[in-house]
Structures are given as C-alpha cells and as structure tokens.
Structure 1
C-alpha cells in the first residue's frame, strides 16, 4: 500500500512536467507538418515558405506557446489554484513589483557575464548550444522570449511543479527539485547551472510572496535584459573591461534589489 501511495504521489508531482513536454511536442509537430505540406507541392507557396523559413519558425513557436498557456490553464486551473496573495491584499504590491523587475534583470545580466568568463576560463565548447540571437525577427522573438516563454515556464515549474512538490513533501525539496527540472530543460551544463540558480530564486520569490505574478515578472525581466540589448548593439560590442565593470555593477544591483524584494515580501506577510 505504501509503495502504491508513493507511486501516486510521484506521478502527481511530475504530471505537469510531462504535460508540458507532451503538448510542446504535439504542437511543434503540427507546425512542422504544416510547413512540410506547404513546401512539398513546390510552386510559389513553397518558394515563399523557404524564403521566410526563419519568420515562420518564430511565429510558429509563438503559436505553440500561446497554446501551451491555454492548455496548462485548462488542465490544472481547478486542481491547482494560483497563489496571488499580495495582489489580493494590495499591500505595497507596485513597489515590490518594481524591485522584482530590476532584481530579475540585474541578476540575469550578472550571471550571464559570469558564465561567459567561466566558459572562457575553462575553455568550454558552447558552439552547439542555442541562445538568444538576432537572427530571430524582433517582434516574434520579443513575444516568445520575453512574454510567452517565461509565462509557460513559470506555470510549469513554479505554479505546478514547485506547488505540488511543496504540498506533498516540503518547501526545501520543492525549491531544489523544481529548480533542477528547470535547469535540465535548458540543455548544456553552463545554461543548466544558470537556469537552476534563476529557478531557485523565482521559486523562493513565489514562496515568500505567495504571489505567482512576481515570479513571472522576475522571469520576464531576466529574459528582456538578455534578449533586447543585442538588437540595440547590433554591429557593436563591449570590451572585456567594460564587461567586467558591468558585471560588478549588476552584482551590486542584484544584491540591493534582492534585499529589497526579500524585505518587502517579509514585511507584507
């Protein structure tokens, strides 16, 4: 009986993670099928699709993530109610929201700069890994990386995975395991460590504030601070000294805004 109960509890905790992957694979396959059918017959349609393959891929990904938001909400909204305590109580919410936004942005920039130095120091080959890049059209890229991807990932890993593990085991286990899952989906070791740290912070924000929206805002800010600057600096670059100085500044800002977020959420509890 204990064995069966353990299996049920384990399945209950990983169902959202599995649902995310199944729906993602299904919707992505449909997008690829549509593209394949469009280019199979040849003619002007095929030529147009091939010429705009990157744009199609980007907008197709946007559609996939919109469907993921809808699918996750339909599947889990009733069984796993969202926590948004600070919004309901309206206690200093805007101030905390702004602190979370700048905390997310500064932490993301600092950790990315740090990761860059570690990669160079250890001579890690990252040529086969994917990242934000300016080949992606800006508008669908903005929608996907800054808004939809953070929302879907927060629904999957903080709202559902973290929430269910917390309910069935405890908060420390939920913080670590949900962050490990979040790190695993980001591919190579460097990104996995970055994602684990960021995932842990976002789960901690959700736990301390009882407000899912704050975790989403942190994630959106982090992605925005990484995604948008390359478009603004296209054709330019920064020296090693400038990168180091930026990293130090972002570390200090991360500490300041992180402390403000912690103090703000604790005060409003």
Structure 2
C-alpha cells in the first residue's frame, strides 16, 4: 500500500511546476504593470511580456517529464504527420471554440458574471495586432506547455487517462476565475488534452488553442459572427451544427488512432 509520504511526493511532483509558473507570471506581470501601467490599454502588453519571459522557465519541467516518461526529444520540423495533426486540431478547436462561445453568450451568464466582463475589458482594450500576438500566439504556447505538456503529462503517468484528462481540465478551468470562462475552459481543456494524447506531443494542442483564441480575438474586434449570438432560431441552429461538426471531427480523429492501434496488435 502506498505510504502517505509517497502520495505527498507524487502530488508535489505534479503541482510544483504549476505553482512555479503561477509565481513567475505574477512577479513579471506585477513588474510590467508597475513599469508600463495597469490600465486596460496596457494590460495585454504586460501580459505578453510576462508570457514571453515565463515560457523559457517552463521548458525544463516539460523536458524533465518527457525524459521520465521515456519520450525522446523530438526534432523541430514539419512533416506530413504533423501537418495532419495540426489540421485536425485547428478544425476541431475552431468548431468547439465558435459553438461554445455562441451557446454560452446566448445564456444570461455573460451578463451576470462581473469577472467575465472585467476579463473582456482587460483582454480587448489594446490593438487587434497586440491581442493576436499575446492571446493567439504566446499565451497558447505557454498554457499548453504548462497545462497539457507538463500537468496532463505528469498526471497521465500516475493516473488513468480519463482522470488525467479531467483533473488537468478542471485545474485549467479553475485558473480562469469566472463562471463563463470556467465552463468554456473546462470543455476545451478536455478537448485539448485529448488532442495532445492523440498526437503524442504538445504541438497539436498548441495549434488548436491558437486557432480558438485567434477566432475569439477576431470575432470580438470585427463582430463578424454577431449574427450567431442573437438568440434566435438561426443562431441556435448554426451553433449546434458547428458543435456537431466539432464532435464528428473529434470522433474521426480519435478513431483513426484506435484503428492504428488495432492494426499494430494484429
């Protein structure tokens, strides 16, 4: 039977990279806001600085986890297999991102959640170029490195895959600290963990996360999908069809792996 001390060691092994990430982000963000200003106009710029400087500090944790799991460091480059994973990830996350944004927006949650409204003010108070660079490029890289590459990877080494997916998604959702983003991040956290598990590396989930965030930024700044959140029949049908497309794509993507595993057993 596993000792209490061994259990604590495992919990610490899983959590300390996340706590380190949070501390580094908080310190750099505080310094950046002190230097450049903490108002909505400068928030995304300060977030970008904190994100860029935090990424290198998380790479050793990711590589340590990969090494302990016996996964060799993969060379950087483009291959047909990686392109296939990237396209599936982008398509799946585009569908889930659009449909979930729509469905949640057509409820009363966005109106009653002060935290969500404040987050919108902070994240969409800059230029669209700065928002894309921060929210759709560097933030997905860092968050996928931390929540899927490190947290999910370590959980999967100790728990069954369903528990690892669920716990990593729950922690990912909890850091968003408002009910609207919690629900959105919880569902997408499950999808992103499955994307990483299917691809065998963190790059696919990074591409998927970038896609969802890019669409979120562009739709907020250009209003090009406003027709789909009016709450009428067309909005609901459109959103449910897009959600269905995401589910079908996800099923197809995951079933391809099962077929491959069945062939290897023969």
Q: Same fold (TM over 0.5)?
A: yes
1:247 equivalenced with 2:203 (yes/no) = no
Distance 1:69 1:118 in 2: 35
Distance 1:98 1:86 in 2: 20
1:261 equivalenced with 2:261 (yes/no) = no
Distance 1:194 1:225 in 2: 14
How far is the alpha carbon of 1:261 from its aligned partner? 1.8
1:182 equivalenced with 2:175 (yes/no) = no
Matches within 5 A, 1:124-203: 125-129=112-116, 130-131=119-120, 134-203=124-193
1:115 equivalenced with 2:107 (yes/no) = no
C-alpha distance after superposition, 1:135-162 (max 9, x if no partner)? 2211110011111111111111111111
Gaps of 5+ in 1: 37-49
Instruction: Label 1:168 to 1:255 Cα distance change in 2 as closer, same or farther (>3 A).
Output: closer
How far is the alpha carbon of 1:245 from its aligned partner? 3.4
How far is the alpha carbon of 1:88 from its aligned partner? 8.7
Root-mean-square deviation over aligned CA pairs:
2.9
1:225 equivalenced with 2:215 (yes/no) = yes
Instruction: Label 1:265 to 1:137 Cα distance change in 2 as closer, same or farther (>3 A).
Output: farther
Gaps of 5+ in 2: 262-266
C-alpha distance after superposition, 1:63-84 (max 9, x if no partner)? 11101111111x3144122868
For this pair of structures, how many residues does the alignment match? 250
Moved more, 193-202 or 224-233: 224-233
Contact 1:87–1:211 (CA<8 Å) still a contact in 2?
Answer: no
Q: Hey, what does 2:61 align to over in structure 1? A: 76
Instruction: Label 1:194 to 1:16 Cα distance change in 2 as closer, same or farther (>3 A).
Output: same
Which of 1 and 2 has greater Rg? Answer: 1
